[in-house]
Amino acid sequence: MSIVFADPAALSHAQLEEGTVFAPRFDVQGLITAIAQDAAGRVLMVAHMNAEALRLTIESGDVHYFSRSRGKLWKKGETSGEVQKLIRLATDCDQDVLLLTVEQTGRGAACHTGRKSCFYRVLQDGALADTGEPRLFDPDAVYRR
């Protein structure tokens, strides 16, 4: 019994924005932007999902994405062990972005660089400054590069 998502084109503007029908607006490549945030409000990472990744995420409770660079479905943590458990899934007014609240398991590193969050640099006077986010794993060891 697999989830089938409603077609957003079949909804009125009001239904899309104020209704109860979940009709994720995948783009022309079949992808939707997904933001993963922890319960404390820290944005961990941003990636994309296709319909299959979204279905598997909802059905299993483990977050799945679609890797644009590798062109394939990707269970978060399948290599690194940094599995994300879905706590809450929100969508925005026009249903073209998903906001996931997740529990970041493993060593707590959502980023492939080994850091908790991918957002470890901030703009200061025209250059990026590292916020000093520690590495929770060694990416060379984890990904055997």
Pairing of strands 32-38, 97-104: parallel
The closest of 20, 23, 30 to 8, measured between CA atoms, is: 23
The closest of 29, 109, 114, 117 to 67, measured between CA atoms, is: 29
Binder among 20, 70, 140, 144 for a second copy (CB under 8 A): 20
Contact between 33 and a second copy per CB under 8 A: yes
CB of 73 to a second copy, least distance (A): 20
Instruction: With beta carbons less than 8 A apart as the criterion, state whether 82 and 110 touch.
Output: yes
Facing residues of 84 across strands?
104
Closest to a second copy by CB, 63 vs 111, is: 111
CB of 26 to a second copy, least distance (A): 15
Q: Is the dihedral of CA 40, 69, 75, 66 positive or negative?
A: positive
Contact between 111 and a second copy per CB under 8 A: yes
Contact between 72 and a second copy per CB under 8 A: no
Closest to a second copy by CB, 62 vs 119, is: 119
Dist CA 55 CA 36 (whole Å): 16
Dist CA 54 CA 75 (whole Å): 11
Binder among 7, 29, 81, 128 for a second copy (CB under 8 A): 128
CB of 40 to a second copy, least distance (A): 7
Contact between 36 and a second copy per CB under 8 A: no
Contact set with a second copy (CB under 8 A):
3, 17-22, 33, 35, 37, 40-43, 45-46, 58, 88-93, 97, 99, 111-113, 118-123, 126-131
